[in-house]
Amino acid sequence: MHADYIIIGAGSAGCAIAYRLAQAGKSVIVIEHGGTDAGPFIQMPGALSYPMSMSRYNWGFESEPEPHLGGRKMATPRGKVLGGSSSINGMVYVRGHARDFDTWADMGADGWAFADVLPYYKRMENWDAGGHGGDAAWRGTHGPLYVSRGPRDNPLVTAFVEAGVQAGYLRTDDYNGAQQEGFGPFEATIHNGTRWSAYKAYLKPAIATGRVKVVRAFARKVVIKDGRAIGVEVARKGKIEIINADAEVIVSASSINSPKLLMLSGIGPAAHLKEHGIDVVADRAGVGQNLQDHLELYIQQAATKPVSLFKYWSLLGKAFVGAQWLFTRRGVGASNQFESTGFIRSKAGVAYPDIQFHFLPIAVRYDGKAAAEGHGYQAHVGPMRSPSRGAVTLTSSNPDDAPKIVFNYMSDPEDWRDFRTCIRLTREIFGQEAFAPYRGCEIQPGAQMQTDAQLDEFIRDHAESAYHPCGTCRMGAADDPMAVVDPTCRVIGVDGLRVADSSIFPQITNGNLNAPSIMTGEKAADHILGHTPLPREAVDTWIAPDWQQAQR
């Protein structure tokens, strides 16, 4: 079995690459361990908490006990299904701030500044400005990835934006346009009331060309001969076999599995590989290092009026929502319920937003357990650019063994200062006049939690991952000893091998990572095909003129 290109992983980046390679007439085999995305739990946006907790769709990784979070093991879900994590995520669509990508370029990812990546965002988007405003000049309208906004008809959703404005922050009509900073409507990869995953947007039409074949198998390692990747060793139907690549192998297996696969293939820190009896093909110290993520807290407030989604939280209510969605693709089930957001700066001297809010018109945990208080609302809040770094390493040379994941969350004193600021700024927003008709008691952390020590205790016990791991196969200059791939996504020191997914991010971007992951696949495809990159679009992005003196 062979093709021009072998892609490991049918996730956000891998699906985009398969689509563009098929467009160019290449033959492609996509290796995916997970199965079909069929079933209402994946397709219904309102059911987003279910697929993430189902072993059928999720690799089920967890971290080692995190030393700064009281020894808690943190869930690290990654999609094991067609569409990868785009099939089990919260569907939130955030490009990232322009400065994020300019920082990538400064860190050695030449050709990945915002002016370079904006054309790829436009190429991938199918965004409709009609009816909900936004910055049409900044958006793509003919791409395969549908991006939409929820109905925003719950009064709590609009109250959050009004409260942000009352607290002295700006309003933004399109955080994916010229001005990220401020409060406004959220965007999502939802189309006609259904999740629009990378599988639906890219892989399904690619398969329809007849040039892309999906092979359901477990990738064990990349086969490298005389310094060149020639195929992939897989376990399939109880047998070990090799799928051969005539041109290149592309690893798009996630920020957890991509470094694992490289190390099992002999690419990584030499001492670590030797420790597990793996022959060293390329000594790359950065493989598995530079692990980053977003942590967040749920700040919850009780509601004095029955306006929240809690009215649907009974068995009968859920049955109604499910039936309405099943027959009409409308109603509560047709939205991920993340319909308002905010991006703000934590303090004067910060040039662009470093805090993100996800507002939700119910007080509920990500695993779907509602607050005992009944009606309520919450904001997920967390810092965007934590200085803490972790690592993904091997537990053994056996491909069946999960890797060792240590995020090292909250290992820097700055993390604690930033999180305390997040709590206090959120309380201030919830205290504004816009919430006065609904505001009950504070459920979490609770009004009694005020001192730094009390807030630190709450953070230690309740901080949750936003599920945005990245950075473990960092992109950089070819002579950078910690870089794993060069700016064309080639693995440094091995021919015919690339990595393209969130693992190559030099630094985590603002917001949710699905959009930048898909963009990475789009741009990587042009590098793989040897195409001239799309023409740069140098644009002016909004930065607060008084950012050095004022927080808002």
Return binding residues for FAD.
81, 89-92
Largest CA distance in the chain: 70
Q: Are strands 190-191 and 212-216 parallel, antiparallel or unpaired?
A: unpaired
Buried b (16+ CB within 10 A) or exposed e, 16-28: bbbbbbbebebbb
The number of residues making up the chain comes to 552
Name every residue whose Cβ is closer than 8 Å to that of residue 423 and which is 6 or more positions away in sequence: 297, 299, 381, 445, 455, 458, 459
Residue 307 and residue 154 in contact, taking contact as beta carbons nearer than 8 Å: yes
DSSP single-letter state for residue 200: I
CA distance 232 to 246: 12
Classify residue 5 as exposed, middle or buried by CB count within 10 Å of its CB (0-12, 13-18, 19+).
buried
Assign 302 to helix, strand or coil.
Answer: strand
Sign of the alpha-carbon dihedral angle for 223, 225, 231, 237: negative
> Quick one: which of 215, 394, 198 has its CA closest to 288?
394
Active site residue 468: yes
| Helix intervals (H) in 359-492 | 413-430, 452-462
Both tokens of 316, joined, read 């009968």
* Cβ(45)–Cβ(113) below 8 Å: no
175-212 b/e (C-beta count within 10 Å ≥ 16 → b): bbbbbbbbbbbbbbbbbebbbbbbbbbbbbbbbeeebb
**What type of residue is 242?**
I
Q: Which of 68, 294, 375, 468 is catalytic?
A: 468
Query: Residue 195: beta bridge partners?
Result: 190
DSSP 89: S
Mention every residue, 6+ apart, whose C-beta is less than 8 A from residue 493: 227, 267, 281, 282, 283, 284
Give the dihedral of Cα atoms 84, 87, 92, 96; nearest 10 deg: 20
Q: What are the binding residues?
A: 81, 89-92
Q: Residue 432: which of 170, 159, 173 has the closest Cα?
A: 159
Helix (H, G, I), strand (E, B) or coil at 280: coil
Q: Residues near 326 by Cβ (< 8 Å), separated by ≥ 6?
A: 40
CB-CB neighbours of 504 under 10 Å: 32
Nearest partner of 13 among 544, 552, 468, 519, judged by Cα = 519
For residue 352, with 0-12 CB atoms within 10 Å meaning exposed, 13-18 middle and 19 or more buried, which class applies? buried
* Active-site residue set: 468
